[in-house]
Structure 1
Amino acid sequence: MFVLELTYTAPLEAVDAVIPAHVAWLDEQYAKGLFLASGRKDPRDGGIILAVAEDRAQVEEVTAGDPFVAAGVCAYRITEFIATKTAPELARHRQTLG
C-alpha cells in the first residue's frame, strides 16, 4: 500500500485552474481500483492519496500522469508501507510480512 503526499509548488490560483482535470484523473484511478481515499490537506498546501498497486514503479507511472504534475503545480512524496492491519472494509488489501 502507498501513501501519496502531494505538496503544491505553485500558487493556489494555478492549482485551482487544474482541479477539474485532476479530479477526472482521480476518478480514473478509483475506477481502476488503484485509489482507496484522497483529499486536501489542512492547511491547504497539498493533498493525500491512499493507493494500492503492484509495486512502486506502477505508482510512479500513475502519479506522473496526474495533470497537477503536467502543469507543474505539485510534487509527490511516495511512501510504501505494509498494511498488516486494516478496517474490515479494507480486508482485501491486508498484507503479510514476508
Structure 2
Amino acid sequence: MFVLELTYTAPVEQVDALLDAHVEWLDAQYAAGVFIASGRKNPRDGGVILAVGDDRAQIEKIAAADPFTTGGVCAYRITEFVATKTAPELAPYRQQLPV
C-alpha cells in the first residue's frame, strides 16, 4: 500500500485551474481500483491519497500522469508500507509481512 502526499508548489489559484482535470484523473484511478481514499490537507497546501498496489514503479507512473504534476503545481512524496492491520471494511487490502 502507498501513501501519496501532494504538496502544492504553485499558488492555489493555479491549482484550482487544474482541479477539474485532477478530479477526473482521481475518478479514473478509483475506477481502476488503485485509489481507496483521498482528500485535501488542512491547511490547504496539498493532499493525501491512499493507493493499493505491489508495484512502486506503477504508482510513480500514475502520480506522474496527475494533471497537477504535468501542470507543474505539485510535488509528490510516495511512501510504501505494509498494511498488516486494517479496519474491518479494509480487510481486502490487508497484507502479510514479507518472509
TM-score (normalizing by structure 1): 0.98
Paired AA for residue 51 in structure 1? A
SS of residue in 1 equivalent to 2:24: helix
SS of residue in 1 equivalent to 2:18: helix
Residue range with higher mean Cα deviation, 88-97 or 20-29: 88-97
Structure 2: 5+ residue runs without aligned partners? none
Root-mean-square deviation (Å): 0.5
Aligned residues: 98
Q: Structure 1 vs Structure 2: percent identity of aligned residues?
A: 72
Could you tell me how far apart the structure 1 residues matched to 2:7 and 2:18 are?
Answer: 14
Specify the alignment match of 1:40 in structure 2: 40
Displacement of 1:54: 2.4
Confirm whether residue 87 of structure 1 aligns to residue 87 of structure 2.
yes
Structure 1: 5+ residue runs without aligned partners? none
Could you tell me how far apart the structure 2 residues matched to 1:54 and 1:20 are?
Answer: 28
Specify the alignment match of 1:23 in structure 2: 23
Specify the alignment match of 1:9 in structure 2: 9
Could you tell me how far apart the structure 1 residues matched to 2:48 and 2:5 are?
Answer: 5
TM-score (normalizing by structure 2): 0.97
Paired AA for residue 77 in structure 2? R
Question: 4+ residue runs of structure 1 moved beyond 4 angstroms?
Answer: none
Confirm whether residue 75 of structure 1 aligns to residue 68 of structure 2.
no
